[in-house]
Amino acid sequence: MSTDAIVLLKDDHKQIRKLFRDFRGAGENAVATKGKIVDRILEALTVHTYIENEGMYPDVRALLPAVEDEVLESYEEHHVADVLCMELAAMAPDDERFDAKTTVLIEIVDHHIEEEEKEWFPQVREGLSRTQLQEIGARMLELRKSAPRRPEQPGALKKVADAVLS
């Protein structure tokens, strides 16, 4: 398995996008199925944003000041996604706004992934060495082991609070 930070994040993106497709394809009346898929989306996004916020972004920001604006924008996009994840975690799948809120989350995260992969990752790949990306990736793999799995867990709540208070 590669420890390249960008490869790891792109792998996460593939898994997250598959969950999004599963949700969209579940059918209008598949309430229970959609609830299970959203639980998996919430876990995947909680872990992913945690390792990016705690591992990738601070390191890249320190090593590559030229992308600071993009990092700050990514923190804000994560914050919006985190808030939606918190709200979805507190909702029942049969709530009238559940599908709408999930759709908004999917749209925001799709936009974020698109920007990262097309604009930000190429800048990072060009600006950092292979060794640096592997070191960041190794740290992210360590962070993944202890990452919160649900948006309402303390580690996830801390990153939401940090984003709001920053």
Q: What pLDDT score was predicted for residue 164?
A: 47
Beta strand spans in the chain (E)? none
Encode pLDDT of 104-122 as tens digits.
999 999 999 999 999 999 9
In which residue are the tokens 């930070």 written?
Answer: 5
Mean pLDDT, contiguous 10-residue spans, the chain (166 residues):
90 97 93 96 95 92 91 88 92 96 97 95 96 96 92 64 51
> What CATH number labels 5-165?
1.20.120
Map out the domains of the chain as residue ranges. Answer: 5-165
